[in-house]
A and B are shown apart, each in its own frame.
Chain A
Amino acid sequence: MTWSRHRLARFALVALFVVPSGVAIAGGPASADSTRWTVGAMATRERTLTGDRPQFSRRWTVTAADVAPWFTTRLKMRITFANDAPADGNARVIAAINDNPAALITLRTQLDGTRVFYDGYLSGPVTTVTKDDSITVDYENYPREGSVRPGINAFKVALQDNDGLVERVEIDPASGFAATTIAPDQLSIALPKELTAEVGEQFILPYEVSSRAERADRPLSVLVEKAGGPLELDRDHDEFSTTGAKRSGQFTGTAAEPGRYELRVAANGGYNPAAGTVVIDVKPASRRGPGLAAVVGAIALVAVAVLLFTGGRRRAERRRT
């Protein structure tokens, strides 16, 4: 695949990633300030989900002036597992804003405990296996675009637990959604589109990761992956304790055979992942001098010629004497 082909496909996908969602909601009471709409102070019982009461809903009014470029959502909760949970059960806790996706946490019992896993744009991908009776989950995400609209907005949390895995889910008062001007994309990565290399010679793949630094700094890892092909790299990732505004580095590689190969470089800084592709155009090795074998051969030939010449002269001198 060429870079331009990848770009074309990517742009096509970008255009077509925007898919219709259309869901409608009913009205309700208003509360909260103009940037944050959270569950707030409620009786614990009212914000606790169980098998008998698996749904929680709260409604807030968002004015047209409150609608920010972006919203984030948070679902903080304490999940207590059932004592008689089955050995191979599944459950999910989900949160929705106007029925649009905001949070999805999966629970699965396995031999070594209960596996709790999720992925959010702000909380990142998390997998935890626990044998404890309960676990606290603090999930943060950018909900589906367009979820929050002017008017009444419904924040719903639901426990889906047909297998009886969960005793109760206590929703933290801090859960809800908030307006922000900070875009999901904090990181970007700059890479060369294409590099030229020679078989057996080292090539250098530089990268530069930029952060908009609008959120708290987090450690950064930069990974390089091969998409097949005879490329050898000196290492497969770099680690930085902080991201700052900019981080740069380089990987070194060698290629064993001519051809066009792809390397993928991904920057992971705890927020949005950023990734890019570099095409390595590997040319056949060019001749650089005669090489060791040729030099040794040449020396040997010269030595043989000298021996023959000197031997011939000695024989001629003996005949003369």
Chain B
Amino acid sequence: MPYDVINMEQTIQTIAEQIAAINLPDPLLIGIHTGGVWVAQQLHRMLGYDQPLGTLDISFYRDDFSRVGLNPEVKSSELPMPIDRRNIILIDDVLYTGRTIRAAMNEIFSYGRPDSVKLGVLIDRPGRELPIQAEIVGRTMNLQENQQARLTRSDGILELNIVSTDKNV
């Protein structure tokens, strides 16, 4: 069952406006693989930042490694500049349990000590399992537990689909 279609361009524009409104000195944008990097790339263009975009793959910091193992398609994290004393805006596609963000913050702090970290997400949905909230939100969606918001990209166009995670559907 499709959720009402979201206007991707407009939603990301909303996020960009919120980031601009915070008016952080010299912010550093970091996207979380894979969907968060796509969103961060678009934001990076819209905001016209000079400094390169950082990317994180949090596979090595996940809290379910001993249960589910390593993602075979793990990518490299790349923070192309020192992050000490920087103001970081962490970008992900969907904020759900909060565990990805916990893992991402652990990883960020293994690179250095930023002055601040803010969280921006395309979609905020209920289901938090950790005390983590996003300050910058593109769109809130009240998805059910058996629904998943899945971001895909083809030819540079982002598309959000709401899919059922029920096994026999």
A binds B: no
User: Which residues of A line the B interface, CB within 8 A?
Assistant: none
User: Which residues of B line the A interface, CB within 8 A?
Assistant: none
